[in-house]
Structure 1
Amino acid sequence: MKGTLTIYVDEANGLNGEEMKCVAGDSKNEFKYNSESVGTPYYMHNVSIDENLSLIITVNDQTYEWSLKEVFAKSEGVAVTLPKKGDKIILTLSYRKYNSGDSLVNRP
């Protein structure tokens, strides 16, 4: 079973204009974060449900890892706080399984 992992950056003090690299299994997304994009969804498609799968985020040569087990289990999303030297990064992660009739057009 596969689906879409959605990442919302709720807060990332001191990361204005920095690139965030996100990897979950074979799915990847890279984007530049800026303070004006708070609440913008970033999508990772074709993420397999695997309770051992983690989201790996790299920002400024710092790497963070977060288990997706809880994210797969909750449809309303999970708030995640990643410690950052002198600051923190706050994300909301949510996951939506693909239905058998979904096409790429219908996917978020």
Structure 2
Amino acid sequence: MYCESCGKQVEKSETTCASCGAKVTKLGEAIARERQMQPQIQPSSKASSKGIVFVVLGWLFFIISLLILPVLFGAIVFMMGLAVYQQRNQMHGVVLMALAVMVIILGFL
């Protein structure tokens, strides 16, 4: 049998889980099997903050590129957009890269 709360294996003769102390029932076995079949996705704080620096720098350099040296800062925005595309959010990265290309083209004009 398995514990309903934590999913650890429990002997059939036991009525409480030795791991978490929860009451064990036969229903717990079915629930635990279902949990084991589903992929475990646990968001971590490290994963959610991954690439945030590239997002902030990308938008900061985009604003700077509108004011001064659009070709230079546009290239930097494109690199930040590529980093965002690879590490954080593909759509956000594509938007940054597209804006960078537009700024670079305007800079050449």
TM category, shorter? under 0.3
Q: Which has the higher strand share?
A: 1
Of structures 1 and 2, the one with the larger relative CO (CA 8 A, separation 6+) is 1
Q: TM-score if structure 2 supplies the norm length? A: 0.22
TM-score (norm 1): 0.22
